[in-house]
Structure 1
Amino acid sequence: MMERYSKYKDSGVDWIGEIPEGWKTTAIRHVLQLHSGSALPDDQYDAEGDFPVYGGGAIRGRANQCNVQGQTVIVSRQGATCGTTRFIGGNAWITEHALIAYFLDAMYNKRYFAYVLHAMNLGNLSMTAAQPGISASIVQNQHTPVPNHIEQQAIADYLDEKTAAIDAAVADVERSIELLNEYRQSVISEAVTKGLDPNAPMKDSGIDWIGQIPAHWLMLYPKKLFALRKDRAHADDQQLTASQKYGVISQKHFMELENQRVMSVITGSDILKHVEAGDFVISMRSFQGGLEYSYETGKISSAYVMVYPFTDQTYSEYYRHLFKTLNYIQALQSTSNLVRDGQALRYSNFTQVYLPVPPLNEQQGIAKYLNDYTNSIDSLIAQKQSLIVRLKEYRSSLISECVTGKVKVPGVKED
């Protein structure tokens, strides 16, 4: 446990709370002024440029000119990253999507106040609109703790070291998740195209994306396995939501999982479509993430195309895994030169990709094997994702505790 200061006083500022007796508080406008960056014309971007170009989020590109020199701090002023703070270590171009901090005195440590702005959760100050936005004046009217410049330096140095270690740990965990997802994908791809018997005789499928398949498997035209569902929504159908993350589930369940509301469809059933559990939905993102499996029965937007297995030799759970493999998705992409980000695939694209057809009992066995195996991988991934959340929460907590003086960083001496 870190050491605390010997005496505290009330700062009079809710987000700061008590501060060490020797510290003071002041309005941010007395420490720095915030001004918008400047737009950079498209023809001024240069991949080989000397200076990074920052928008509201990460680096947007490079340029051969800069509008800030030396160290500075920027605050994202709009969009999903609104309120995010970034310390800039050298010359750069800052676009109009960020606010630039101009410090009023060289005694103010820019790295310390970058951490202060981070601790303030500036995104909470954004103005409600179609796109969140933050005002420089609102930020400047907030109050900040102000230790002496020696303590500012010590706190900044300590947090640089500790946050770098946390960030490295997060990066390691994120990389392990990437590897697990790659392994998960390889397990699925191997099982749905090669089966579970490593000693089974093989044959050439005649299809590039499949390659070799067990000799007793078939390759069939999709229309021999799946039909196009054209049913209009039933009066008692629940509203469904399609997503690559969850497949097709009820809108209510989706909102619970995502902790957010989505637009409800209030219209006649004549422009909505009926979906049965076990159907597959072709969405506008299917060329990126494959077909979505419907776990529930209900109604969905007419913008989607539904297909369903109509033979007793087609097991949906097997094809649920197949339709999410990278090779299958690439095969879908190859069916049209017109497929671009944001453009929907059509039923005609789906029917062009020949499909492997193992015997029904093998389809069922493969599906059960993959359900069990991927569940164990998904559980491990979830544990790692939870660890990332805890690491990031600890990072934020550590910053807040240090910049408000709740703990005394090593090397600081009280007067």
Structure 2
Amino acid sequence: MTGTALSGNKYSEYPEYKESGVEWLGNIPTTWIKAKFTHYVKIRHGYQFREHDFVDDGAKIVKITQLHPSGFLDLNNCSFVLESRVENFQNILIKEKDILMCLTGGTIGKIIRVTKVDEPLLQNYRVGHFSSANDIIIDDFVFYLMSSSVVYDQINFLVRETGQPNIGMEDFGDMSICIPSPDEQHKIADFLDHETAKIDTLIAKQEKLIDLLKEKRQAVISHAVTRGLSSNTPMKDSGIEWLGEAPEHWVVSHMDYVLNAIGDVDHYMPKSADTGIPYVMTGDLTEFASSINFEDCKQVCRKDYLKLSKKIKSSQGDVIMARYATIGTASYIDVDREFLVSYSCVTIKPNPSKCLGLYLFYYFKSHAFTQGIRSQVNSNTQDNVGVNDLKKVKVVLPPLTEQLNIIEYLQSIICKLDSLSKNAQLAINLMKERKTALISAAVTGKIDVRNWLKH
């Protein structure tokens, strides 16, 4: 009755149910009432401030992207309007315990309960305020109601696809909800506060584990490609400030010395084609090209592909590296297929007599390379690094046989670390499913928590 995420649960049901007449609500407890959403929930809309409203300092405007799921308000990169405007917009001031929802874009349906706010803040038009409209429903119950899959599924059903996905205030009017007595609402809210906090704590621990595994992964790679695998290897000063010592038999050189070619395509954005050659952009990159979803990439016609790939053509064994914004993001090409790399990336072709492509890929993930590339970044406008700058970056390389040994070692260790991370992420996903199922079951009366006691 409460879904697979709560199967075998310890919660009892209400003694009697009645038909709600609404498919997504199903049966509800006989003492609960079915109602239209806006009869009991008050909705306020944000204001669409224009360019001429903004000033250098004043009252802050907070966008939905600045609201952290924990309720924290990220006050960095705020826009401002005159303090005098605050008096005219009292209805859209953000206050403690406010319930906010994104009404448009990719995060539509994102729900936030503000837990702390140090000063009055103005929100923009993409955010909706939700609160109790009368004494029959309490704000804490409204928050959990808005967080339930019942409401979220209805929101998805009501989303308009006119340009950017959005949902209007009036669309909430006919949404059906079920409401228990205020005393039961308090009990349900207390129960969910307690139980979801426990789940959130477990999720936070798994997220911390994933972060630690990422740090371990980075450290293992950095150590292997700059110090080698043996602790007994004689060391020497590499002559690279940010690297320090390196094995004395390793070669220190500029990137250009170990490459056959490095380059990017013409800085020209080709038109999209219904079918054709995949045009891979920075956001499409994965660690290994075999994991890139080429079908979802922009497609370009063969004529544009041939024209743009004249300077350099990516092929198996090469490394792709982003050179704008997310500088250093690398992808090793482990597939033999045609695709075009955007001019926001460079294609790097290693000299196989000096450096293996896969080793170079791992080197790009090291702290040594990250620091080396930073010294070449042009930050005048958008962070970027040119092809000639990349050639000047210093690298430290072992002999080819040692590169192979390091690659095999890293693949083994990384596989184990990634497996642990994957299991942690699966656990997080299951806990999030359980949290949503628990909230939905409680606010629709599928479980009875009236006798619940905090332990």
Shorter-normalised TM range: 0.7 to 0.9
SS of equivalent to 2:249? coil
Corresponding residue of 1:160: 193
Match of 2:374 among 327, 333, 343: 333
Corresponding residue of 2:327: 288
Corresponding residue of 2:268: none
Question: Is 2:19 aligned against 1:19?
Answer: no
Question: Is 2:261 aligned against 1:222?
Answer: no
Alpha-carbon distance in structure 1 between the residues aligned to 2:335 and 2:55: 47
Alpha-carbon distance in structure 1 between the residues aligned to 2:116 and 2:234: 62
Deviation at 1:143, TM superposition (A): 0.9
Match of 2:111 among 80, 85, 89: 85
How many residue pairs match? The answer is 400
Alpha-carbon distance in structure 2 between the residues aligned to 1:358 and 1:16: 65
Question: Is 2:123 aligned against 1:95?
Answer: yes
Alpha-carbon distance in structure 1 between the residues aligned to 2:347 and 2:328: 16
Match of 1:105 among 130, 134, 139: 134
SS of equivalent to 1:100? strand
Alpha-carbon distance in structure 2 between the residues aligned to 1:339 and 1:389: 41
Q: Cα gap change, 1:306/1:157 in structure 2, threshold over 3 Å: closer, same or farther? A: same
Corresponding residue of 1:402: 442
Q: Cα gap change, 1:412/1:229 in structure 2, threshold over 3 Å: closer, same or farther? A: closer
Q: Is contact 2:319-2:332 (8 Å) kept?
A: yes
* Aligned AA (2:386): R
SS of equivalent to 2:23? coil
Alpha-carbon distance in structure 1 between the residues aligned to 2:166 and 2:242: 46
Match of 1:261 among 273, 283, 296: 296
Give unmatched runs, 5+ long, in structure 2: 1-9, 266-275
Q: Summarize deviations over 1:148-181 as a string: whole Å, max 9, x none.
A: 1111111111111111111111111101111111
Q: Is contact 2:277-2:302 (8 Å) kept?
A: no
Q: Is contact 2:378-2:385 (8 Å) kept?
A: no
Deviation at 1:231, TM superposition (A): 10
Alpha-carbon distance in structure 2 between the residues aligned to 1:68 and 1:320: 47
Q: Cα gap change, 1:106/1:164 in structure 2, threshold over 3 Å: closer, same or farther? A: same
Alpha-carbon distance in structure 2 between the residues aligned to 1:42 and 1:409: 50
Match of 1:317 among 352, 358, 363: 358
Corresponding residue of 1:9: 18
Question: Is 2:216 aligned against 1:183?
Answer: yes
Deviation at 1:282, TM superposition (A): 2.9
Q: Is contact 1:280-1:292 (8 Å) kept?
A: yes
Alpha-carbon distance in structure 2 between the residues aligned to 1:384 and 1:339: 40
Alpha-carbon distance in structure 1 between the residues aligned to 2:96 and 2:215: 41
Alpha-carbon distance in structure 2 between the residues aligned to 1:3 and 1:84: 30
SS of equivalent to 1:407? coil
Mean Cα deviation higher: 93-102 or 348-357? 93-102
Corresponding residue of 1:199: 232
The percent of aligned pairs where both chains have the same amino acid is 26
Give unmatched runs, 5+ long, in structure 1: none
* Aligned AA (1:327): A
Q: Is contact 2:322-2:328 (8 Å) kept?
A: no
Q: How does 1:70-81 map to 2 (within 5 A)?
A: 71-81=97-107
Q: Is contact 1:203-1:215 (8 Å) kept?
A: yes
Match of 1:368 among 377, 402, 408: 408
**Structure 1-normalised TM-score?**
0.87
* Aligned AA (1:82): I
Alpha-carbon distance in structure 1 between the residues aligned to 2:425 and 2:55: 37
Mean Cα deviation higher: 297-306 or 52-61? 52-61
* Aligned AA (1:147): P
Alpha-carbon distance in structure 2 between the residues aligned to 1:176 and 1:220: 37
Q: How does 1:292-307 map to 2 (within 5 A)?
A: 292-297=331-336, 298-303=338-343, 304-307=345-348
- What's the Cα RMSD here? 3.0
* Aligned AA (1:350): L
Alpha-carbon distance in structure 1 between the residues aligned to 2:17 and 2:170: 30
Q: Is contact 1:83-1:134 (8 Å) kept?
A: no
Alpha-carbon distance in structure 1 between the residues aligned to 2:64 and 2:263: 46
Question: Is 2:32 aligned against 1:55?
Answer: no
Mean Cα deviation higher: 194-203 or 138-147? 138-147
SS of equivalent to 2:232? coil
Q: Cα gap change, 1:10/1:275 in structure 2, threshold over 3 Å: closer, same or farther? A: same
Corresponding residue of 2:433: 393
Deviation at 1:2, TM superposition (A): 0.3
Q: Cα gap change, 1:230/1:177 in structure 2, threshold over 3 Å: closer, same or farther? A: closer
Q: Cα gap change, 1:158/1:137 in structure 2, threshold over 3 Å: closer, same or farther? A: same
